[in-house]
Structures are given as structure tokens and as C-alpha cells.
Amino acid sequence: MSSKSSLRPRFCVASPLHLAAVISIFIGPAAFAADTAIEVGSKQMGVNVMKNAMPKLPAFPVLTPKSGFVRGYVKDTSGKPLAGAKLGIRASATGGFYSGAQTTSDTRGYYEIKVPWGSAHFYSAAYTIDYAGGRASLSLHPADGEAKSFPSGKGAIENWVLLPYGVADRDGASEKPNYTSDYYGGAINVDYHTTDRPPLEGAEDDYLPEGAEIELTLAPVGKLIDGSMGQPFVILRHVGNSSWENFNVNNLPIGVYRLSAKLTYQGKTWPLRMEEIGRRASLGFGLEPKDSSQQSTLFFRPLSAKSETTLPQRGNWDTVEIRLKK
């Protein structure tokens, strides 16, 4: 994918209070520039930073169906074979009884499963990686775009790809755009309390004044999980007139980011405190440090490390919850 400015599409996002919030997103690796800013209106619930962009998929060896088996290859976006991916199928016969089988891809990324009799489908397809000092199971994407069911007798071919970002379920993302499992990328949720009193004039210390602008900066640290270069994001949000507001930033390419936040109000700028909150904030991943007014390192939080139970074609990242304070 090219990083030339001519290939940077622009999208318009409307909200009740901000009718022309302009988003400009780099689809490929890019230098840090002002026009990477993504403006989120004060009534928007969130944004998918990569829109419908998908990484380029690798080529796969040609296979022919083998009666009674499903088989294929597992690769990352660079075309590297992935050994150790876990793939499981389940078949149903008359009466609703299920039987299943599971296998692991070999050093070529190749797998082959004998399919139990009946109508079969994949119940798991995932690859576990070392990430942020822990382990993360990542759901795999079917190279043909859909993990379809298939009859056991005919045989089937299904190749899989490990993606750092992208829409996993386009129908789901269209109906519920803030449902993070519809994306292969990571997600953060940002919340804050608001006040109609300006800073230094009796406003609550932690509250953000109406009409101020929040600026979040996410700068990549190193490469993404597939070895490609990351890109920076700047998220802009106007503080509205609700007592409490929040929004999601979805589908962030999986890697490690340096996160900072600041507030601008009537020409003055303050750094904002970022505190990780939520029931899993005390566990690994997330922000480090957990509470900072300077910058924190952001590690996305996996829902699990066990690839045997990770669903195919589905995001497997929990939302990192962050509260902003003055």
C-alpha cells in the first residue's frame, strides 16, 4: 500500500452540532502530519479509524478439494506461513447431534482436517502471539471473505490470514458500529465529565469545560504485529453540554502506541490526565502507567490467549477504558 498523499481518501462525518467534521485517514504507512486528524463530533458515539480499508492479502498455493477433508493454509499479510494456528470444525447430523475435530497448522502453514459426517462449519480459527509481555489469541480472517458451512462429503478449501486491522463482520459493523468484536483492530473508550463553568473560575478540578477541544495523539512504537509500519492518529473531540460523555476509537491497527492528551479552551492549552478505568484496569495490558498527565504506553487488551476457543472472523480484543481529567 502506498503512502503517497494522492492515496489518502477524505471522509465527511456529520453530527448534530458539527455538520462538517472532516476526517482524513492514511490507509498506508505515513509520516506524522497535521491532516491525519480525525474529528469526532460531540454527539458521535465513536469512529472506525480505518473505515473499510483492509490489508492486502497474500497469495496462496492452489489446492483442489479432497473428499471428506477441509484443508488450506494460514499466513500473515506478508505471506509468511504461520505454524501453530488452531483450527476447529463442528458438524451436525440428523437430530442436531454435533461432532467436532481440531488441528494445528504445520511449518508450511498448512492444515488438513477430516470432517465428521454432516453439515460442517468452523467454530474456531486463531493464532496466538507474544504481545506486550503476555499472550494474545487473534481471530483469523478467511481469505475468500466468508467462513461458509460445507457438506462433509465434498471436501472444502479455506485459507486464513492474520490481520492487524480491518472489518471482520461488515453487516455487524453497519448495524452496530461500536461493537468492537466486528473489527480486527483494537479499541479504546474515552470518557470524561463536563461542566458549564470555565477553568480557574470555580469549575470542578476534574471536569472539562463545554466548548473545549480534546486532542488525543496515538504515535506507534515499533512495527505492527504483521511487521508492517504503523501510522500515527490524532483524534479531535469537541466537549459538548452533557454532564458525562464518552466515545469509542475502533479498529486501531494492532501494535503498541504512545498515547497523550491535551485540552484547548479559549486559546489556552492544558495537558489532560489519562486514567485507565474499568473492571480489568488492574490487570495486564492497557495503559502503562495507569494514570498519567504526560503520556502512557497503550497495549491493547486481548480477550483471551487460548486460540482453541477463539471464534473465526471476529475481533478478539477487549476495549481499553480511559477517563480524561483536567
Q: How confident is the model at residue 1 (pLDDT cuts 50, 70, 90)?
A: very low
The pLDDT of 51-77, averaged and rounded, is 97
**Which pLDDT score is estimated for 199?**
65
pLDDT digits (tens, 9 = 90+) for 119-139: 999 999 999 999 999 999 999
CB-count burial class (<10 Å; 0-12, 13-18, 19+) for 75: buried
Pairing, β 244-252 against β 291-292? unpaired
Work out the mean pLDDT of the chain and round it to a whole number.
87
Domains of the chain and CATH, by start: 5-54+168-325 (no CATH), 69-162 (2.60.40.1120)
Least confident range of 11-25, 139-153, 212-226, 289-303:
11-25
**Which pLDDT score is estimated for 142?**
98
pLDDT digits (tens, 9 = 90+) for 176-212: 999 999 999 999 999 999 988 776 554 557 899 999 9
- The SS3 of residue 117 is coil
The pLDDT of 311-318, averaged and rounded, is 97
Q: DSSP code of 310? A: P
Rounded-to-integer distance, Cα 83 and Cα 62, Å: 19
Task: Give the torsion sign (CA, 212, 17, 232, 319).
Answer: positive
Q: Is a pLDDT exceeding 90 seen at residue 10? A: no
Residue 263 near residue 269, CB atoms below 8 Å: yes
Rounded-to-integer distance, Cα 186 and Cα 33, Å: 22
Gyration radius from the chain CA atoms: 22
Cell of 250: 475502533
User: What are phi and psi for residue 239, nearest 5 degrees?
Assistant: -75, 125
**Which pLDDT score is estimated for 30?**
36
Q: What is the pTM of this model?
A: 0.86
The pLDDT of 225-243, averaged and rounded, is 94
